């Protein structure tokens, strides 16, 4: 292992990826150290690469404690927990895994949209508790042909739009600036987009800039017939305001894959039938997770053979 680059793995990854990393590199799993903090303080200078994930991330302090670090490879597209700027200041590129997950994340947006509109999970609970024998299940809301507002028309947002056209939905979107090469209607005001939308889907990047974007005011504009779908980051939504809106039926319902403090989902949501709760699984298919894992490895291998990751995060 002496001549292989020394790589620090922060957080657990898929078994296949851990095996590949261990085969190609001198790999140390930080989570297996009895005292990770002390380990980094003592051995930090030995590592030339760090592997992490969107969920675990790597902050400026960790980057600083790895003085020989040359590259970071992260499993996932989200960079809200990866300090790309701090890395860039030291000329460290960050490999990540966009695009390979677009389809499955967009599929999950529609899983949530159809589930909450057609009350699928609620109906499943109805059947399982034997209620069909005595009660009539309430009518649901039509999804096809409705208005879909997309907050964040990036790679995933565009893939959601493709799905939506198959459901004959009318599409508008909100970004900070109009997106190039699309002819969907652009709404400069998020509140106006919410007012127009039957379904408002959040596909914006997380982080400080989008924190609380879906505010009480936006939810109020979405209104009692409107549904909110979030496959982005919990932080993009004012979560207490969302809970209140769901309780008061100020919006019709919500489909959520992400939360502010995962894996802690606000218990207030458990009692509500107008919300569908998934445990952050939008990219969690065998196929997509394998493609993400392969790209995490390829990003590192490309760095060590060609000097740059195959797919590097943009530096704003």
Residues that bind ligand 8YV (CB under 6 A): 53-55, 75-78, 101, 283
Least separation in angstroms between residue 272's CB and ligand 8YV is: 24
Which of 78/152 has CB closer to ligand 8YV?
Answer: 78
Closest CA to 82 of 286, 309, 274: 309
Least separation in angstroms between residue 312's CB and ligand 8YV is: 15
Which of 108/274 has CB closer to ligand 8YV?
Answer: 108
The HSE-up count of residue 152 (CA atoms within 13 Å, CB side) is 19
Least separation in angstroms between residue 257's CB and ligand 8YV is: 9
Which of 51/161 has CB closer to ligand 8YV?
Answer: 51
What separation in angstroms does the CA of 48 have from each of 45, 93, 114?
8, 12, 46
Beta strands in 175-252 (DSSP E): 185-186, 199-202, 227-230
What separation in angstroms does the CA of 271 have from each of 53, 240, 265, 276?
32, 15, 12, 11
Q: Helix 155-166 and helix 102-118: axis angle, to 10°?
A: 50
Least separation in angstroms between residue 166's CB and ligand 8YV is: 23
Q: Which residues are catalytic?
A: 233, 262, 280
Which of 63/171 has CB closer to ligand 8YV?
Answer: 63
Report the C-alpha gap between 174 and 186 in whole angstroms: 6
């Amino acid at each position: 292992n002496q001549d292989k680059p020394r790589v620090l793995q922060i957080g657990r990854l898929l078994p296949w990826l851990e095996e590949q990393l261990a085969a190609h590199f001198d790999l140390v799993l930080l989570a297996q150290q009895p005292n990770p903090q002390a380990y980094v303080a003592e051995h930090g200078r030995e590592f030339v690469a760090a592997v992490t994930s969107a969920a675990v991330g790597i902050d400026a302090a960790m980057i600083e404690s790895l003085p020989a670090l040359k590259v970071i490879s992260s499993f996932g597209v989200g960079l809200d927990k990866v300090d790309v700027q701090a890395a860039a200041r030291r000329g460290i590129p960050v490999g990540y895994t966009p695009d390979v997950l677009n389809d499955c994340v967009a599929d999950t947006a529609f899983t949530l949209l159809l589930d909450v509109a057609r009350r699928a999970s609620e109906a499943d609970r109805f059947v399982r508790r034997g209620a069909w024998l005595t009660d009539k299940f309430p009518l649901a809301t039509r999804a096809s042909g409705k208005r879909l507002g997309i907050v964040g028309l990036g790679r995933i947002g565009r893939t959601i739009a493709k799905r939506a056209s198959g459901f004959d939905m009318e599409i508008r979107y909100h970004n900070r600036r109009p997106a190039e090469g699309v002819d969907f209607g652009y709404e400069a005001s998020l509140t106006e987009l919410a007012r127009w939308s039957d379904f408002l889907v959040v596909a914006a990047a997380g982080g400080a800039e989008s924190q609380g974007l879906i505010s009480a005011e936006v939810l109020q504009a979405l209104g009692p017939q409107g549904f909110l779908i979030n496959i982005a980051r919990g932080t993009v939504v004012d979560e207490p305001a969302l809970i209140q809106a769901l309780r008061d039926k100020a919006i019709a319902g919500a489909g959520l894959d992400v939360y502010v403090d995962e894996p802690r989902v606000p218990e207030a949501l458990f009692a509500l039938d107008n919300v569908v709760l998934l445990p952050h699984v939008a990219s969690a298919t065998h196929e997509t997770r394998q493609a993400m894992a392969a790209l995490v490895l390829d990003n590192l291998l490309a760095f060590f053979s060609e000097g740059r990751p195959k797919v590097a995060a943009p530096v704003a």
